[in-house]
Structure 1
Amino acid sequence: MEDFIQNLENSLHKGFINQNHSTSGSYMPKLLINDPKNNINVLDSLLEELENSSSFIFSVAFITESGLATLKSHLLDIKNKGVQGRILTSTFLKFNNPKVFRELLKIKNVEVRLTDIEGFHSKGYIFKNENYYSLIVGSSNLTAQALKVNYEWNIKLTSHDNGDIVHHFKNQFEEVWSRAQPLTEQWILNYEEVYINEIVTREDDRLIELPTSYSTNTIKDALKIVPNKMQQAALKQIQSLRESGKTKGLVISATGTGKTYLSAFDVRSFRPKRMLFIVHREQILNKAKSDFKRILGGIDKDFGIISGSTKQTEAKYIFATIQTISKNENMEQFKNDTFDYILIDEVHKAGAKSYLNVIDYFKPKFFMGMTATPERTDDFNIYELFDYNIAYEIRLQEALEEDMLCSFHYFGVTDLEYNGEIIDDATILSKLVTGERVNHMLEKINYYGFSGDKVKGLIFCSRKEEAKSLSIALNNRGLRTVSLVGDHSQEERTLRVNELENGKLDYILTVDIFNEGIDIPSLNQVVMIRQTKSSIFFIQQLGRGLRKHDSKDFVTIIDFIGNYNNNYLIPIALSGDQSQNKDNIRRNTTNTSYIKGVSTVNFEEIAKMRIFNAINNSNLTTLKLLKDAFSELRNKIGRVPYLYDFIMNQSIDPIVITNKYFNYHQFLVKVLKEVPLLTDYENKVLSMLSLEVLDGKRSHEVILLDLLLSKGEVEYKAYINYLKDMGCVADNSTITSVNNIFNLSFFTQNSTKKYGDIPLIYLNTEKKYVFNELITNNLKSNKYFYKLVVDIINSAKEKSKSYQRNKQLTLYEKYSRKDACKLLNWEKDESSTMYGYKPKHNTCPIFITYHKDDNIDSSVNYGDEFLDPEVLKWFSRSNRTLKSEEVRKIINATSMGNVIHIFVKKDDDEGTDFYYLGEATPNKQSIEQTTMADKNGKELPVVCMNMIMEKPLHNQLYNYIKTGLND
């Protein structure tokens, strides 16, 4: 309690009296805003307080379904912890629609009341913690726009539970609450009768779907339709491609971003004499023809179809199925130069013989290919087919940021445990369609809901039999569903899709046949009850609901997460991060700020733990996975990729490759038939640079290497000045450390031998840095070796952008014990004898594995624990007392000039790297000598104390570290 009071006083002093106050505390008053460019939003702060609260009260005038959706999984998680809340709202301006009140009734740990106060317009959120309250008050209502993207001002305050300000808020709330009416189903029925929907959907916000009532016949009218922001940028790049003499172009555009309209705009600009548009399914033809007519204008006979039943070969603009146009008797009706513009939709299928026949036969002035997923599961290279000319590329995250897609709320929910067994790859059908599982599924689907008046959903199943059986089970529960699998005809599929769109069906259950090539803009719910086989399939299935439509504000994605080995593919698919770096995947599971706009990604706590388990148990560096990524990137860029190419194309993290193979040359030996030769010493130099410099954790080595490659030699003073100009720390101990890295004196004997035994770089008698003679000669004589060295330096420069240059360590980045020795400027690598901590050279790095292995010896099973985001209860090694020298160095760190650095990892599954959480100082009032038992029950002395963190932990990382897999 004393720690909290002191912390609060410091926070208030800095926040309200003196901004230069030396101690900040973790309860500073804070302005909460939405800053999409820097991934900052009000919602994160709201969720942070919600997850740490013991109870809460909201007083908000306006609530939307989308705003409520951002909280639903979090409210369910805290319900399981016994946390209850109250929400006070109203019907002011008839903003809140009846459906949102029904959604509120679903949340069982929240009581809702309605006030009839005229002009009720409050926006306040109050959270009760153990001995204090947090208040968020300002302009944000409970809407997704207000919590994530609108320009909002909110103040966050912390008050002791005996503070006056919080009682003013609470008393005001209670006064209104006591006179407010409870929310009931009958109240909603009464409200529906008088409700007038005053929210008018602005048509010009619908970037993709043109009004269905809009029609045009003349070119003059068509020219009034203008491309959206993305399409304008794409058209400019496509035109630039043509002006450079290219005759082929590939457009990679996320599902729902308007590829057809984009191609129509480009055709309008190109003004071909004749055009051919090729699709892979007949039901797409009429839609494509209609869209083109809107953009191009003209008379009906200008637009023709070639399919199994129709042969309108004389039209100016022809829309054909690949099955029909690829037949020789149809293709040869046209001269090979008849069409000066040809487009192929879903061009990732173009490896098939039918497509290749068409592409080989026709000779247009320009060939356009369009796809959302150019990546292939076979060896065919789509990029090569288009001469590696990527005319334009926009992926899911960018499309969301540009507001081109319908926003979505993804919920990773917990699949059912059946008789104690979690659903996994081996689960038999009879267990997949039990009454219990169907009940569980319906409970989740109902809780997370959908946007709009009626559900229009797709359910992706794992097997045909499951889809059929589950459809019957759902129909028996009163739903209207059908199963559609590969055995059904195209006519049957079209009929069922129309029934879904027209409200005659609630759900279509399928396996994989709707991954692509199906357009259901009104779809408002996608349910996944199968394992994620690949990130490509995942995005294809999620993308089914991302088209904008007047009937919905967002689409709900409900993903049932069982005990699947490849659950780790879910955060990979959602984030688009293909690095194969386990730490990145963990971060993308806990911090989902990569999703732009008002969309959100939410994982129920148990589902999140299953993903962490999958990450821990997976091997993401198998040769097959790395080789596949290598082949995919080589296909994309048309040559052998190097490390820098992987970075610039958001592919595998080079560190993943070099940690396994020591250097990139060794990897190339594994994946290519022929690779230029390197000497043994060249290999060792590459290994040293790859393992010690490539990560970019300190820029100094990278800068020196770069200067030496360009200049041949670098004066000592010039190097120091250059470091200062670049904003790097340039004190003597840091420069000495850099020298020790390159002369290899820092490393252990084994590492020195692995790196070639002789200094790579040294200061000569003229005080100039130079490479050793062997390296100098090899760089001149072996172009391949030179290229690999340059590649490491370029990659390291890019990697170093993640780290601060003016500090030794960067907050929340990960470091090994060896990294700490190096970056804290120790003379030697002492990581092998550091263990939990080591005071040396006026520094003391402390390394903590937060959740220890169950089999660990009790004498080293220290009870280190975060008491809150700013206070770490820490234990010394056993057999230490208050008089032990190492303990005294830590207790008296401030007076002795020693700096304590805290490094923490969640558990041993995270490998050898730890999150750097910043500097800390001991709270002297908390220091005590106690005891702990060894494996034989003998009591051993140990010292414990509270470490006060210089900066409180970020909430998401704090919760991630605190939560164990078995919690």
Structure 2
Amino acid sequence: MENAIDDLKYSLHKGFIDRSIVHQGHHVPKLLINNAEENVLSTVIDELQKCQSFMISVAFITESGLASLKAHLYDLAQKGVKGKILTSNYLGFNTPKMYEELLKLKNVEIRLTEVPGFHAKGYIFEHDQFSSLIVGSSNLTSNALKVNYEHNILFSTYQNGDLVHRVKHQFTDLWEQSTPLTPNWIAHYREVYQPQAVQRVFEDSQRQTDLINRVDEATQIQPNLMQVEALQSLSSVRARGEDRALIISATGTGKTIMSALDVRQAEPERFLFVVHSETILNDAMRGYQKVLATEPASAFGKLSGQHKDMDAKYLFATVQTLSKEQIHTQFDPAAFDYIVFDEAHRSAADTYQRIFHYFKPQFMLGMTATPERTDDLNIFEQFNYNVAYEIRLQKALESEILCPFHYFGVSDYVQDGMVVDDNSQLRYLTSDERVKYILDRTHYYGYSGDVLKGLIFVSRKHEAVELAEKLTQQGIATTALTGSDSQQRRNTVIQQLKDGEINYIITVDLFNEGIDIPEINQVVMLRGTQSSIIFVQQLGRGLRKIANKDYVTVIDFIGNYKNNYLIPIALSGDHSHNKDNYRKFLTDNAPLRGVSTINFEEVAKKKVFESIQSATLNEMKMIVEAYQNVKNRIGRTPTLMDFIEQNSLDPDVLLSKFANYEIFLEKKAQVTPRISESASKNLTFMSKELAQGLKSSDYMTIEVLSEQDESFESLVEKLQARDSEISEADVQTSLRILDQSFFKKGTDKHYGPPIINIKHHGKQIQLSEHFKNNMQNKAFRAHLDDLMQLAHYKHMNHYHNSNSLQLYQKYSRKDFVRIMNWQNDESATVYGYKQKYQTLPVFITYHKKEDISETTAYEDEFLNQDELKWFTRSNRSLKSPEVQNVIHHQELETPMYMFVKKEDADGKNFYYLGTASYMEGTAEDAQMPDGKNVVTMHLAMNTPVRDDVYRYLVEK
């Protein structure tokens, strides 16, 4: 108890009296706003996940705001944690449907106050010995929690404090006077409710959609932000004399209208739009007619099975009809000034190729959401590598071009002790119990709007048909559509969904692309993720904006699939294959900008974590595929930096498999060997020791010495002119690395001869003749320049342009030794900890393997985010000099640096959690399971471990 009170005292002292004190405690008052680094929602979620109960008092609640908490409230319900929400119908802001959503929260009691002018915004979280409060300007709405500029204060108070007593007393008084929320209350409220003119999130794009849908020939369609940028880029491409370009744009971002706007600005004499579906053809022509409103209706025509308007100025053709030789040969190859190929990734098909190579327009535009295909044809090459504009899912969401979404990863149904998944027998996939479970989860997470209009993706046709029958029997009108259904039936069923006559369409892969149903407000994935591309395509079916849809709900039923690691790849758009990136993405409470959220129920998140841990993301097939995709995109052999610039594979993944990039090119890209074996070893040295960008002095030394020889003093001066943070000790360490004296003997067998020579006691430092000769080779020099750029990029972006340890970055033991300028690489002898050179690094693997030796089964444990119970090595006692040095490390002026990783599967790198201090009087002799002596003690973290990192490390 004393520790808890002391912690609060430290926190309040720093927050309200003296901000300069170092030990801040875990409860420092904090200003909560929404910006690029953090938002109010993440703090609310953090507090919910730690609390024993909670009370929320807010005037305004939206369905979207509530949805962003639903998965977390569900997990709390599983743990038996309960809460209360107090709200009102002040100003008629809260909708009847939102109140219905509140009733779904089984662990939350809801009441309504009739206090006039109720405008409260407060969140109270009860813990064991203290309470945390968020008070300020944020209601429980998506905009207030993630987007709006808000002012809230998070602070904590001991349970016996006067302030928390008054706040709880006021809440309790108001609670006792309030009305419980019931279905009858909602029914009455619905009768008197008057919808308010609440601003919707789809304003700009919706106005454009409304204009397109209205029959108003005088209306001038104006481009949205994305379209303005794309149009400017297309004009620049044509100004350079290019005759073709590619637009890469996420589903629902207005590609068709953008192309029409470009046609309007280009003013071609004749125009051709090529599409693979007559349904899309009709939609495209209507859009063009609205954009080109000054053109007469007779200027637009179709070329399809039923229509042959060959002379139209603006011709819209299906590829199936136009590709016929007797059709396209009726046109002069130069008949059209401007041609658009919709869904350009399909251009590998023979039908597209016949059209593509026959016509010779002045300008050709390809449009696609997914250019990375496995087809032999390279569509980037087709359009001369001119990517005029690219907007992927994450950017489109940030720009508010797409409808926001709330993604929920939920665990699939467990039957007979087994999780149902794609490999289960059909009778399990469509059992009554699973259907009930599906309906329970889809009902809980709900949808935006008045009527459910959803898409369900499954893995088998028979599953689609049987599930449709079962859902219909449960009162949820559902129809299955498969590839065997005619286009006419598809159109009929789609219209039924739009009109609200049915609630769900169930399909396999039929609606991955090309189908435009803006009314969809729920997407359900009842299948494993086989491809991140297909995942995004299916997610994208619900992202078009339309009136009365503030967001789309995406419910992903996650089974025991080995490909679950593809989920964070798809949702993040990160194709680095860096496991740590994906783990961070899963632990971040708000990884997307805007009001969209990504939520995993706890059990489902564990399944994804397990998949990431077990996946081999540096498989040769993956590396070669990433290489080929980047090469296709840029039209040349990519550099390592190209992988980063094209949002592709993390070069570290490639270099974990190959000693250097040249070896990969020789073995897997059929590049003829271009450098000597000795030069290759030097590349290996730079790839393994310099490319990480750990210290700027490492790679800058090579850059300086490439210009001329230097003395130690002049080298330090020039390096410090480039980076003032570089110390003489940093330069000394870098020189020992570059001349290989830092490493154990025999390193040159793998790294080749040292790349620098140091003569006359540092009076002359120069590149070695061997290295200079290597630099005369163009291929070697290109690799060297690439590695120097990569090191600079990582130093700036991973280590924030700093040569010292950065909080929450990951480091190996060897990285620590280098950063702290130890004389030699002694990382192999550090083990769990080592006190040397006035430093005391401590490395902890938090979750040990079950089969670990009893002599090393240390039970290091975080007691909270400020305090760690730590074990010394075995065969140690309180009298051991080593232990005494640890206990007195502060008096010895030896900082204790804490590094922790979750488990061995995380690899050799540990999160740096800052420094810690021994807590006086906590050291005790103890025994290991094998009977050997050990000392335990408590360490105070000088900086409390950040919530998301703490949860990730501690959770099993």
Q: How would you bin the TM-score normalised by the shorter chain?
A: over 0.9
Instruction: Tell me which residue corresponds to 1:950.
Output: 942
Instruction: Tell me which residue corresponds to 2:273.
Output: 277
Structure 2: unaligned runs, 5 residues or longer: none
1:715 Cα deviation from its structure 2 partner: 4.5
Confirm or deny: 8 A CA contact 1:528 1:558 kept in the other structure. yes
1:460 Cα deviation from its structure 2 partner: 0.3
Q: Distance in 2 between matches of 1:870 and 1:572?
A: 33
Distance 1:764 1:243, change over 3 A: farther
Distance 1:764 1:559, change over 3 A: farther
One-letter amino acid of the counterpart of residue 815, structure 2: D
- 1:389-441 superposed Cα distances (whole Å, 9 cap, x missing partner): 00100111111111100000000111112211123453221211111211111
1:586 Cα deviation from its structure 2 partner: 1.1
1:189 aligns with 2:197: no
Corresponding residue to 2:712 among 708, 716, 719: 716
Confirm or deny: 8 A CA contact 2:7 2:27 kept in the other structure. yes
1:739 aligns with 2:735: yes
Q: What is the 5 A alignment of 1:5-154? A: 5-35=5-35, 38-154=36-152
1:739 Cα deviation from its structure 2 partner: 1.6
Q: Distance in 2 between matches of 1:824 and 1:378?
A: 50
Q: Distance in 1 between matches of 2:704 and 2:911?
A: 31
Instruction: Tell me which residue corresponds to 2:447.
Output: 450
One-letter amino acid of the counterpart of residue 888, structure 2: N
One-letter amino acid of the counterpart of residue 487, structure 1: S
Q: Helix, strand or coil for the counterpart of 2:210?
A: coil
Instruction: Tell me which residue corresponds to 1:698.
Output: 695
1:217 Cα deviation from its structure 2 partner: 6.3
Q: Distance in 2 between matches of 1:900 and 1:668?
A: 44
Structure 1: unaligned runs, 5 residues or longer: none
Q: Distance in 2 between matches of 1:308 and 1:764?
A: 86
Q: What is the 5 A alignment of 1:647-726? A: 647-709=644-706, 711-726=707-722
One-letter amino acid of the counterpart of residue 49, structure 1: E
Instruction: Tell me which residue corresponds to 1:168.
Output: 166
After superposing the two structures, state which structure 1 stretch, 889-898 or 746-755, moved more. 746-755
1:763 Cα deviation from its structure 2 partner: 5.5
Confirm or deny: 8 A CA contact 1:208 1:547 kept in the other structure. no
1:752 Cα deviation from its structure 2 partner: 4.0
Instruction: Tell me which residue corresponds to 2:240.
Output: 244
Q: What is the 5 A alignment of 1:408-427? A: 408-427=405-424
Q: What is the 5 A alignment of 1:194-205? A: 194-201=192-199, 204-205=203-204
Q: Distance in 1 between matches of 2:809 and 2:61?
A: 37
Confirm or deny: 8 A CA contact 2:712 2:762 kept in the other structure. no
One-letter amino acid of the counterpart of residue 90, structure 1: S
After superposing the two structures, state which structure 1 stretch, 171-180 or 810-819, moved more. 810-819
1:899 aligns with 2:898: no
Confirm or deny: 8 A CA contact 1:217 1:293 kept in the other structure. no
Confirm or deny: 8 A CA contact 2:206 2:547 kept in the other structure. no
Instruction: Tell me which residue corresponds to 1:553.
Output: 550
Corresponding residue to 2:848 among 836, 849, 852: 852
One-letter amino acid of the counterpart of residue 131, structure 1: Q
- 1:181-223 superposed Cα distances (whole Å, 9 cap, x missing partner): 11111111111111111134568433575216854665xx34x
Q: What is the 5 A alignment of 1:382-531? A: 382-531=379-528
Confirm or deny: 8 A CA contact 2:755 2:771 kept in the other structure. no
After superposing the two structures, state which structure 1 stretch, 874-883 or 629-638, moved more. 874-883
Corresponding residue to 1:886 among 874, 882, 886: 882
Confirm or deny: 8 A CA contact 1:647 1:653 kept in the other structure. yes
Instruction: Tell me which residue corresponds to 1:961.
Output: 953
1:451 Cα deviation from its structure 2 partner: 0.3
Corresponding residue to 1:332 among 329, 344, 367: 329
Distance 1:469 1:713, change over 3 A: farther
Instruction: Tell me which residue corresponds to 2:821.
Output: 825
Confirm or deny: 8 A CA contact 2:591 2:597 kept in the other structure. no
One-letter amino acid of the counterpart of residue 104, structure 2: K
TM-score normalised to the size of structure 1? 0.97
1:612 Cα deviation from its structure 2 partner: 1.0
- 1:617-661 superposed Cα distances (whole Å, 9 cap, x missing partner): 111111111001100100000001110111111111111111211
Distance 1:208 1:713, change over 3 A: farther
Confirm or deny: 8 A CA contact 1:216 1:293 kept in the other structure. no
Distance 1:672 1:441, change over 3 A: same
One-letter amino acid of the counterpart of residue 65, structure 1: E
Confirm or deny: 8 A CA contact 2:708 2:766 kept in the other structure. yes
Distance 1:898 1:752, change over 3 A: farther
One-letter amino acid of the counterpart of residue 8, structure 2: L
1:731 Cα deviation from its structure 2 partner: 3.0
Q: Distance in 1 between matches of 2:742 and 2:207?
A: 59
Confirm or deny: 8 A CA contact 1:208 1:258 kept in the other structure. no
Q: Helix, strand or coil for the counterpart of 2:681?
A: helix
Confirm or deny: 8 A CA contact 2:211 2:221 kept in the other structure. no
One-letter amino acid of the counterpart of residue 851, structure 1: H
Corresponding residue to 2:787 among 784, 787, 792: 792
Confirm or deny: 8 A CA contact 2:348 2:376 kept in the other structure. no
One-letter amino acid of the counterpart of residue 59, structure 1: S
Q: Distance in 2 between matches of 1:65 and 1:577?
A: 29
Confirm or deny: 8 A CA contact 1:27 1:157 kept in the other structure. yes
1:312 Cα deviation from its structure 2 partner: 1.0
Q: Distance in 1 between matches of 2:710 and 2:452?
A: 69
Q: What is the 5 A alignment of 1:560-599? A: 560-591=557-588, 593-599=590-596
Q: Distance in 1 between matches of 2:281 and 2:105?
A: 45
Confirm or deny: 8 A CA contact 2:805 2:912 kept in the other structure. yes
Q: Helix, strand or coil for the counterpart of 1:158?
A: strand
1:859 Cα deviation from its structure 2 partner: 2.1
After superposing the two structures, state which structure 1 stretch, 47-56 or 892-901, moved more. 892-901
Q: Distance in 1 between matches of 2:746 and 2:449?
A: 65
1:894 Cα deviation from its structure 2 partner: 1.1
Instruction: Tell me which residue corresponds to 2:534.
Output: 537
Q: Distance in 2 between matches of 1:681 and 1:424?
A: 52
Q: Distance in 2 between matches of 1:480 and 1:174?
A: 44
Instruction: Tell me which residue corresponds to 1:343.
Output: 340
Q: Helix, strand or coil for the counterpart of 1:933?
A: coil
1:235 Cα deviation from its structure 2 partner: 0.5
Distance 1:204 1:925, change over 3 A: same
Q: Helix, strand or coil for the counterpart of 2:562?
A: coil
1:895 Cα deviation from its structure 2 partner: 1.1
1:265 aligns with 2:257: no
Confirm or deny: 8 A CA contact 1:73 1:411 kept in the other structure. yes
RMSD: 1.6
Q: Distance in 2 between matches of 1:674 and 1:796?
A: 24
Q: Distance in 2 between matches of 1:535 and 1:851?
A: 30
- 1:750-784 superposed Cα distances (whole Å, 9 cap, x missing partner): 5443112545454666734321110111212x111
How many equivalent residue pairs? 953
Distance 1:424 1:215, change over 3 A: closer
Q: Distance in 2 between matches of 1:593 and 1:244?
A: 41
Distance 1:739 1:355, change over 3 A: same
1:234 Cα deviation from its structure 2 partner: 0.8
TM-score normalised to the size of structure 2? 0.98
After superposing the two structures, state which structure 1 stretch, 831-840 or 314-323, moved more. 831-840
1:885 Cα deviation from its structure 2 partner: 1.8
Corresponding residue to 2:831 among 812, 821, 835: 835
One-letter amino acid of the counterpart of residue 2, structure 1: E
Percent of residue pairs bearing the same amino acid type: 47
Distance 1:472 1:904, change over 3 A: same
One-letter amino acid of the counterpart of residue 245, structure 1: G
- 1:581-605 superposed Cα distances (whole Å, 9 cap, x missing partner): 1111111121254411000000111
